[in-house]
Amino acid sequence: VASIVCGGLPLASRLSSSKIACSSRGGFDDLDSFGDLDSSEWQNGIVKNLVSFGAFVEVTLEDGAKAQGLVHVSQIRDGFVDNVYDELEVGQDVQVRVMSVDHGKRQMSLSMKEGGGGAPRRGPSDVSPFENVASDQWLTGKVARIASFGAFVTVTAPDSDAEADGLVHITQIRDGYVENVADELEV
């Protein structure tokens, strides 16, 4: 088990966003310079560490102030990010927006997405047109998105224009073992 030391203070070997507040100067960052930034303004950053739930980025302001914050996996780009390590690498220069600063927890939340943080959320689909569809009835659909665990498919209800999205789990794509969904289906 490795321990990480920053500014003479040991950090837990298991990193969490509340524990990342170290600066290149040694010691803890002063987040005051970041608290009043407009979340629509882009800032320069360098990826310092990657974890399964996102990337820790050191942000440098024009006045030279620096602090590290977390770009959560959901804020790396629009769409589903299956693997952070496929999207970013340590040392990479990135553009980020400071979404929030929590001085009490010493956390800064960042986003790499355009606009206000992603695509608008759709409300729940009305699935009532599908209520009388027999479980053994086949429906034609269009693959909307592929994930490691299956495919999201948009189907139309019989005798209706009503649409809904559903998951076809990897175990239901075909008989036998499916190693990679993308080898079986395409968007």
Measured between alpha carbons, how far is residue 115 from residues 29, 112, 125, 165, 179 in Å?
A: 27, 9, 25, 25, 36
Taking residues 36-64, what's their average pLDDT?
92
Q: In the structure, what pLDDT confidence band is assigned to residue 115 with cuts at 50, 70 and 90? A: low
pTM of the model: 0.51
pLDDT at 12 over 50: no
For the chain, strand residue ranges (E) read: 4-6, 9-11, 43-51, 54-60, 66-72, 93-102, 107-111, 141-147, 150-156, 163-169
Checking if the pLDDT of 137 tops 80, the result is: yes
Average predicted confidence (pLDDT) for the chain: 80
Contacts of 68 (CB under 8 A, 6+ apart): 20, 21, 22, 23, 29, 48, 56, 57, 58, 59, 108
